[in-house]
Amino acid sequence: VTVAIDDKLILDKLSLDIKRGEILGFVGASGAGKSVLLRTILGLMPKQSGTISLFGVDVDKASDLDRLRI
């Protein structure tokens, strides 16, 4: 996933796999992109490239009902 705000690159080709049942915490310095990543996963921020799949469902192609089910 690649995300930029204005012309500033925030996430550059981030690749992340989390398996069912795993617990993950995001730790990093202020401004490192933790909140941007979560907002992008939730669909609150647009991404420039890449795909986000949750439980095998492509978030960009999912209906509103499918997103609620996830």
Q: How many domains does the chain have?
A: 1
| Tens digits of residue pLDDT in 27-68 | 999 999 999 999 999 889 999 999 999 988 999 999 989 888
Helix-then-strand count for the chain, H and E: 2, 4
Domain range for residue 24?
3-69
Phi first, then psi: what are they for 67, rounded to 5°?
Answer: -65, -40
Report the alpha-carbon angle 28-29-35, nearest 5.
Answer: 65
Residue 2 is predicted with a pLDDT of 97
Residue 43 is predicted with a pLDDT of 87
pTM for the predicted model, two decimal places? 0.83
pLDDT, the chain, mean: 92
pLDDT at 11 over 90: yes
The Cα–Cα gap between 68 and 54 comes to 12
